[in-house]
Amino acid sequence: MIRGLIQKSIFETRWTTLWIAAGLFAFEWLIAILLPAFSQNFSQLLEQISFLQRLVSALLGTPVDAEIGPAVMATIPWMHPFVLLLTWALAIWFATRVPAGETDRGTIELVLALPVSRPAWMVSEGVVFLGAVMVVMIAGMGGQSVARLSTTEGEVSVSLATRIWLVLNLAALTIAVGGIAFLVSSLCERRGRAIGASCGIVAAFFILNSLAPFHEGIRRLSDFGLMHYYRPLALLQGDSVPLGDLVTLLIVGAILWTLAVAAFTRRDIRA
């Protein structure tokens, strides 16, 4: 029966997942083509306009000097708001399908009538969610790989191993966001409320990270946010592999998902 639930979940989510994967592929391909030609002119402009330094610092969530290097430019494809929007949209859209989405549509009774437990249902959804995340991440990495075949510029290129770690870190962040959405969905009876609450929580983390370079108090507060554990710039600048950050995000996602399973299992569902 779990196999049937997995097939049902794949059937319901396949097209949206593929469209998001295609969007990330196209964006990563395009920005990988444009960045090498753009980086030199942008560095000169950044030296002349201090306001742009603040904008880049807010985008990356870390202070950026006027001397913008290849590592900073290589970070943009992985910290760009569009990339975060796509991956977080996938997590929130997917996770709020169950049980909030089923309850909202009035179909929750049909699924609960099946000879399968609620934890098993959540396990099947979690397995398909992990698969969807990996499909999107592979698509993003594939977009950059295709772009590298058509350009000889090496100024903002990074090694394959580094790109794999970047993708894994972004996948872990997406899984943590999915954990938040799963927990909120398990507590809500309307999908719109679950999506709104999840978006609000994730937006708060992003805003804290964006404002952290400009205020010490906000920086300390942002240390408790998810974005504190997603730092592609540190990896691209030659720091150690962020294994601790990756593991922390995965643990947070697992804990939140476990709490979601417990909440869904214990609550009374009103169709």
Question: Which of 54-58, 225-229, 264-268 shows the lowest mean pLDDT across its residues?
Answer: 54-58
Task: Say if residues 129 and 12 touch (Cβ distance below 8 Å).
Answer: no
Most confident of 69-73, 108-112, 209-213: 108-112
pLDDT digits (tens, 9 = 90+) for 159-171: 788 888 989 999 9
Amino acid at site 92: I
Q: What is the DSSP letter of 156?
A: T
Question: Half-sphere exposure of 92 toward its Cβ, with a 13 Å CA cutoff?
Answer: 19
- What is the distance between the alpha carbons of residues 89 and 118, in angstroms, rounded to a whole number? 25
Which residue segment(s) compose the domain that 100 sits in? 2-266
What's the confidence (pLDDT) of residue 85? 94
* Count of C-beta atoms within a 10 Å radius of residue 192: 12
What's the confidence (pLDDT) of residue 234? 75
Question: Which of 75-84, 137-146, 193-202 shows the lowest mean pLDDT across its residues?
Answer: 75-84
pLDDT at 35 over 90: no
Q: Which of 28, 271, 259, 270 is nearest to 142 (CA)?
A: 28
For residues 61-71, give the mean pLDDT: 55
First to last CA, the chain: 23
The reply to whether 271 falls in a domain is no
Q: How confident is the model at residue 153 (pLDDT cuts 50, 70, 90)?
A: low
- The percent of residues in the chain predicted with pLDDT above 90, rounded, is 48
pLDDT digits (tens, 9 = 90+) for 205-252: 988 888 877 777 777 887 888 988 998 877 777 666 778 999 999 999
- For the chain, the average pLDDT equals 84
pLDDT at 190 over 50: yes
The reply to whether 106 falls in a domain is yes
Most confident of 71-80, 188-197, 200-209, 241-250: 188-197
What's the confidence (pLDDT) of residue 57? 59
- What is the distance between the alpha carbons of residues 14 and 22, in angstroms, rounded to a whole number? 12
- What is the distance between the alpha carbons of residues 149 and 157, in angstroms, rounded to a whole number? 12
- What is the distance between the alpha carbons of residues 137 and 140, in angstroms, rounded to a whole number? 5
Q: How confident is the model at residue 177 (pLDDT cuts 50, 70, 90)?
A: very high
pLDDT at 158 over 60: yes
φ, ψ (nearest 5 deg) of residue 27: -65, -45
Q: How confident is the model at residue 66 (pLDDT cuts 50, 70, 90)?
A: very low
Q: How confident is the model at residue 67 (pLDDT cuts 50, 70, 90)?
A: very low
- What is the distance between the alpha carbons of residues 25 and 29, in angstroms, rounded to a whole number? 6
The reply to whether 126 falls in a domain is yes
The reply to whether 219 falls in a domain is yes
Where is 270: in which H helix or E strand? none
The reply to whether 83 falls in a domain is yes
Better pLDDT: 70 or 153: 70
pLDDT at 142 over 70: yes
- What is the distance between the alpha carbons of residues 67 and 252, in angstroms, rounded to a whole number? 35
Measured CA distances, 178 to 84, 184, 249 (Å):
13, 10, 11
What's the confidence (pLDDT) of residue 11? 95
Where is 226: in which H helix or E strand? none
Question: Half-sphere exposure of 232 toward its Cβ, with a 13 Å CA cutoff?
Answer: 27
What's CA 33's distance to the chain center, in Å? 23
Measured CA distances, 14 to 1, 20, 103, 175 (Å):
20, 10, 21, 18
pLDDT at 83 over 80: yes
**CA torsion, points 250, 79, 177, 228, in degrees to nearest 10?**
60
Measured CA distances, 107 to 110, 113, 264 (Å):
5, 10, 16
Amino acid at site 185: S
The reply to whether 56 falls in a domain is yes
Most confident of 34-43, 148-157, 183-192: 183-192
Count the domains in the chain.
Answer: 1
Task: Say if residues 10 and 127 touch (Cβ distance below 8 Å).
Answer: no
Better pLDDT: 95 or 156: 95
